[in-house]
Structure 1
Amino acid sequence: MVDTSPRHPLLQWTSLAPVVGAVVLALTYPGKGLPTVVVALVALVLGSAVLAAVHHAEVIAHRVGEPFGSLVLAVAVTVIEVGLILMLMSSGGDDASALARDTVFAAVMITTNLIVGIALVIASRRHGTAVFNPEGTGAALATVIMVTGLCLVIPAFTIGDPGPRYTGAQLAFAAVSSLVLYLVYVLTQTQGHRDFFLPVDREHGGLLEDDHAEPPTARATWTSLALLLVSLVAVVGLAKVASPAIESTVRAAGLPNSFVGVVIALVVLAPETLAAAKAAGRDRVQTSLNLAYGSAMASVGLTIPVLAVATLFVDAPLDLGLAPTHLVLLAMTVALGILTVVPGRALRLHGSLHIVLGLAFVFLSMAP
C-alpha cells in the first residue's frame, strides 16, 4: 500500500528550507573566494529561504489578523535590510557611504511602484477594478512621503556638512522624527483607526476581517515564528555570502556600483512582492497596499534611525541626499500615488503606470 498520510510539519520544505539555509550559511560564511558552483547553490538556497519566510510570515499574519499581519512581514523585511546594509558598510569600500541611501531609495521605489502596480494589475484583471480604502491607504502614502522627504530629499539641499549628508544634529532630528512618525502610523493602523486598513468587501460594501479558513493553532504560530527568524538570519547571511559575487558581476557588466543597492532591495523585498500578489489574487487589495506602503515606510522610518546609531560604531559616513534624476522619479511617484489612492478604486491602467515607473527606476539605475 502507498502511504498517503500527511507529512509531518517539520518535514515539509517550508520547515527544512530555513534549516538548510542556516547550515549552508555556517559552511560558506564569509563567502570570499567561493567557486561558481557553490555561489549558484547559495543563490538557490537563498531563494528557498525567501519563499519559506513568506510562508511563515503568512501563517503568523493569519493568526493575528489584519492589519497586524501586514506589519509582521514589513518589519521582518526591514530586519533583513538593516542587517545586510550594516554588514556591507562594515566591510568598507568607496561606495559604503552611499549604500544605505541607494538601498533604502530602491526599496521605496520598488514598494510604491512595482509592488503596488503588480497588486493593482492582478486585482483589476480579475475583477475589473481594484477596490481599497482611500483613508487608510492615503494615510500610509502621506507618511511614506514625509519620512522619505526628511531622510532622502532634504539632505541633498542642506549646507551644514559637505556632500549630500546631514550633520550629526540634523541626522538625529531626521532619525527621531521618522521613527516617531512610523510609530504613530502603527498605532493609527492597529488601534486608532484599524477599520481604515481592513480589506474592502466588494460584494457587500463592508470590511473583511479575516479569511474564512481556520486560523493556525498557537503551537503552529510559534513554530512559524521561530522558523521565520531562522529564515531571516539565513537570508541576511546568505545575501552577504553572495554579495561579493553580486558586486563583481555588477562591475563586470559595466553597471554603476549604486546598482548593488537595487539588487539588495530586490532580494529582500521578494517576500513582500509574493505576499502582495497573493493577497491581490484573493481580492484583498488593501492588504497588498498595507504591505507595500508599510514596507516603504519601515525601510526609511526604521532603517535610517538604526543606521544613524550605527554610525557611532561603524566608521562610515551616510550620504543620504538623492541625485537630481532620483528626485524627479520620486516626485513622479508621489504624484502618481496620490492620483491612484484618492478615488479608492484603481484600473489596470493605474497599475501599469506604477509598474512602468518602477521599471524606469531600475533601468535608469543600470544606465544613469
Structure 2
Amino acid sequence: MKTGTKALSAQWTTWVPVAAALALVVGWGRHLPGFAVTVVGLCLVGAVLAAVHHAEVVAHRVGEPFGSIVLAVAVTVIEVGLIVTLMAGGGAKASTYARDTVFAAVMITCNGIVGLSLLVTALRKRVAVFHAEGSGGALATVCTLATMTLVLPTFTTGRPGREFTTGQLAFAAIASLCLYAIFIAVQTVRHRDYFLPVERDGHMSDPDEHAPPPGTRQTWWSVALLFVALVAVVGDAKLVSPTIEGGVESAGLPNSVVGVVIALMVLMPETLAAVRAARRDRMQTSLNLAYGSAIASIGLTVPAIALASIWLPGALILGIDATHMVLLTLTAVVSALTVVPGRATLLQGFVHLVLFAAFVLLSFSP
C-alpha cells in the first residue's frame, strides 16, 4: 500500500508542475476568461504542493540548513523576476509594488509562518524548542534589512516623498547583498549547528530523518521539477493577478492589496513546508524557512530593483507609512521575545497570528 502511495505521489508531483507550466505558456500575454482563470488557479495550487514535495526531497539529500536555503532562494529569485515584470508594465501605480510585496513578505514570514508553525508544534508537543543563537541572528538580520530599506526612505530628505537618492539606494542595495551573503556563510559554514533541528531527550523526533536519502538522479530530477514548479507558481500568480486587480478595484480596496495577495500565493510553498516541518517537531527548520525567506526577499529584491530602476520608468517608492512602521516595530519586539528563550508555547504562536491578522485587516481597511 505504501509503495502504491509513493508511486502515485511520484506521478502527480511530476506531471502537475509540467501542466502548470503549460498553462503559463498558453495563457501568457492573453486576457483569460473566468473558466481559464479557474483552471490556472487550480494549476497554481497543484504547483505549490509539488514544489513543497520536491523541496523536501532536495532538503533530505543535502540536509539542513541547506534544504531551507534551496526553497527560500529559489522562490525569491523568481519573485524578483515577477516584481520587475510587473513594474515594467504597471505604470504609475507600480512605483510602490516592490515596497508592498517586500513588506507583505516580511509580515507573512515573521508573523504568519512563524505563528502557524509555533501553533502546530505547541499543540503536539506543548513547547516548541529551537536554537536561540541561530534564530536570534536571523531575526536581527531581518529587522536590520527591513528598517534600512523600508523605514529609512520615509525620513531621508534627499528626494521628495519616500524615495532614496541614487547614492542612498546604491548603499542600501550593496549593504543588503553583503548582509545576505554573511548570513548564508554563518548559517551554512561557521555556525551551522545553530540552524540544525534541536534534539529532544537525546534523539531526533522526526522518523523521516532516519530514512535513506534519495539518490543523485532522483535529487537532480527533483531540482529540475522544483524549478519548473516555482516558475509556474510565480507565472500563474501573474496570470490571475489581473482578475485580482479587477476585483480589488471594483471593491474599492487599496492597490497595495494586490501585492499582499500575490505575496501570499508566492509564499505558499514556504508556508506549507514550514508547517510540515513543525508537525515533525522540527521548529528550527520552520524558523529557517521563515526568517531565511524574509532575508532573501529583502536581500535579493532590493539590489535587483535598484539595478532595474536604471531603465524602469517612474519613481521607486520604498518608504512605508506610519501604520506599517507600528506593525514592523511590534513584530520586531514580539519576535525578539519569542526567539530569545529558545522555547515558545501556544501563546507566542497566537500573538504572532494576531499580528498577522492585524496586518491583513489594515491592508484591506487602512
Structure 1 length as normaliser, TM-score? 0.95
**What amino acid does structure 2 have at the position aligned with 1:335?**
V
Return closer, same or farther for 1:210/1:66 CA change in 2, 3 Å cut-off. Answer: farther
Counterparts of 1:178-327 in structure 2 under 5 Å?
Answer: 178-204=176-202, 211-327=209-325
Q: Is the counterpart of residue 177 in structure 1 residue 170 in structure 2?
A: no
> CA deviation digits over 1:280-333, x for unaligned, max 9?
000000000000000001110111111111111222321000100000000000
Displacement after TM superposition at 1:202 (Å):
1.6
**What amino acid does structure 2 have at the position aligned with 1:135?**
E
Alpha-carbon distance in structure 2 between the residues aligned to 1:123 and 1:206: 14
Return closer, same or farther for 1:180/1:209 CA change in 2, 3 Å cut-off. Answer: farther
SS, match of residue 318 in structure 2: coil
Q: Are the equivalent residues in 1 in contact too, given 2:92–2:314 (CA < 8 A)?
A: no
Q: Give the equivalent residue in structure 1 for 2:60.
A: 62
Alpha-carbon distance in structure 1 between the residues aligned to 2:175 and 2:345: 35
Q: Are the equivalent residues in 1 in contact too, given 2:61–2:213 (CA < 8 A)?
A: yes
Identity %: 58
Q: Are the equivalent residues in 1 in contact too, given 2:143–2:332 (CA < 8 A)?
A: yes
Alpha-carbon distance in structure 2 between the residues aligned to 1:319 and 1:298: 20
Alpha-carbon distance in structure 2 between the residues aligned to 1:148 and 1:324: 14
Q: Give the equivalent residue in structure 2 for 1:85.
A: 83
SS, match of residue 211 in structure 1: helix
Q: Give the equivalent residue in structure 2 for 1:27.
A: 26
Residues matched between the structures, number? 365
Alpha-carbon distance in structure 2 between the residues aligned to 1:7 and 1:355: 34
* Deviates most, 6-15 or 80-89: 6-15
Q: Are the equivalent residues in 2 in contact too, given 1:10–1:16 (CA < 8 A)?
A: no
SS, match of residue 91 in structure 2: coil
Q: Is the counterpart of residue 134 in structure 1 residue 149 in structure 2?
A: no
> CA deviation digits over 1:37-79, x for unaligned, max 9?
1111111111111111111111111100001111011101202
Alpha-carbon distance in structure 1 between the residues aligned to 2:5 and 2:150: 50
Q: Are the equivalent residues in 2 in contact too, given 1:60–1:221 (CA < 8 A)?
A: yes
Q: Are the equivalent residues in 2 in contact too, given 1:82–1:303 (CA < 8 A)?
A: yes
Structure 2 length as normaliser, TM-score? 0.96
Q: Give the equivalent residue in structure 2 for 1:38.
A: 36
Alpha-carbon distance in structure 2 between the residues aligned to 1:65 and 1:294: 16
**What amino acid does structure 2 have at the position aligned with 1:104?**
V
Return closer, same or farther for 1:172/1:284 CA change in 2, 3 Å cut-off. Answer: same
SS, match of residue 95 in structure 1: helix
> CA deviation digits over 1:132-176, x for unaligned, max 9?
000000000000011111111100100001110101110000010
* Deviates most, 185-194 or 75-84: 75-84
Displacement after TM superposition at 1:31 (Å):
3.4
Q: Are the equivalent residues in 2 in contact too, given 1:200–1:207 (CA < 8 A)?
A: no
Q: Give the equivalent residue in structure 2 for 1:366.
A: 364
Counterparts of 1:93-104 in structure 2 under 5 Å?
Answer: 93-104=91-102
Alpha-carbon distance in structure 2 between the residues aligned to 1:59 and 1:213: 11
SS, match of residue 92 in structure 2: coil
The structure richer in helix per residue is 2
Alpha-carbon distance in structure 2 between the residues aligned to 1:5 and 1:358: 40
**What amino acid does structure 1 have at the position aligned with 2:190?**
G
Alpha-carbon distance in structure 1 between the residues aligned to 2:292 and 2:341: 20
